[in-house]
Amino acid sequence: MIKKSVIVLAFLTGLVSAWWFSTPSLNAVAWQPGAAPAFTGVLSPNTDLQNAGLLGKGLVHGPEDIAFDAQGRLHAGLHDGRVIRLEGDRVITLANTGGRPLGMQFDASGNLIVCDAWKGLLQLSPDGQITTLVSEVMGVPLTFTDDLDIAADGKIYFTDASTRYRQPDYVLDLLEGHPYGRLYVYDPATRTARLVLDGLYFANGVALSKNQDAVFVAETYRYRIRKVWISGERAGQNEIIADNLPGLPDNINSDRNGTIWLAMPSPRKAIADVSARHPWMRELMVRLPRAFWPKPDRYGLAVAIDENGNVLKSLHDPTGDHLRMITSVMPYQGKLYFGSLENDRIGRL
């Protein structure tokens, strides 16, 4: 009987060991997040997002970002790789990138410039032709091309969220906690790209400053916004202008008048803040089925800041039933448009 128990115990030990060593491992590091800011004052919960009109409800899946052409027509990229134009209840497919289109914006020539998580920085011409502008920089392949903004001189500032993890594994970047993100600039005049700044913690949203002397970059997994000067006396310098945000900043967009809108797919999660201090928790978490990994809360949240990082306003849907997991807030002609990595709709407020 004892011998049988020993055999069973040895078998179970071997099974657990095999599972432990066959599952992904992380090089997780500890860091100390500040206490999450309370939802009080300008961050007080409201139901403003529940008043948003819904465009394309049930017709689009995962319109992660939104762009308007010179005619004021709304465009988005969907989870299945399609780039579409929404005209009332009609969804017009312009192209399929074969990847996952994320951040996008029209240039002065009417081309739609697209950050595709798998394909790199792409150009979609008015006649539907897709051209790859950047797939690597100085021999380093783009791994997770995320968001962009286009300067008045035509230069395109864009992020590679993680040089280690692809888009389906973005949570692993959070769990590991290393600064794998990068900010690049592409110059259409010379057709060359260069590194602007590396060492970013999941480099996500990009927005140029009002005077276009700096670029703001969202570092999603540090809950902060970094300002990078690109011209003037401080060119090449950078600093954090908004820290310890109430949620995870995703795409960011400027209204070009000094207000920057931050899309926040989820408020801060206590488990993420606690495990940030304890790498062993994340090492264990990654070995569990993905159903047990941290997930965004079912909550709609967008926050406006000024160029000094002061919070100006917040918009909420506490139920997440109307709008949730918001990944972009696009100011356009006095209204705000809300995209989402997962929603089947686009909000307009």
Q: What is the CATH number of the domain that holds 139?
A: 2.120.10.30
Task: Please report whether residue 259 resides in a domain.
Answer: yes
pLDDT at 27: 87
Q: Which residues pair with 131 in a beta bridge?
A: 123
pLDDT at 1: 52
Task: Please report whether residue 248 resides in a domain.
Answer: yes
Q: What is the pTM of this model?
A: 0.91
Q: Which domain holds residue 64?
A: 40-348
Task: Please report whether residue 212 resides in a domain.
Answer: yes
pLDDT at 313: 98
Task: Please report whether residue 3 resides in a domain.
Answer: no
pLDDT at 12: 40
Task: Please report whether residue 16 resides in a domain.
Answer: no
CB-side exposure of 207: number of CA atoms within 13 Å? 30
Are 65 and 328 a contacting pair, CB within 8 Å?
yes
**How many domains, the chain?**
1
User: Mean pLDDT per segment of 10 residues, for the chain of length 349 residues?
Assistant: 49 42 72 95 98 96 97 97 95 97 97 98 97 96 98 98 91 91 98 98 97 98 97 94 97 96 96 92 87 87 98 98 97 97 96
Task: Please report whether residue 9 resides in a domain.
Answer: no
pLDDT at 15: 37
Task: Please report whether residue 10 resides in a domain.
Answer: no
Q: Cα-Cα-Cα-Cα dihedral of 238, 116, 304, 153, to 10°?
A: 60
Task: Please report whether residue 52 resides in a domain.
Answer: yes
pLDDT at 16: 43
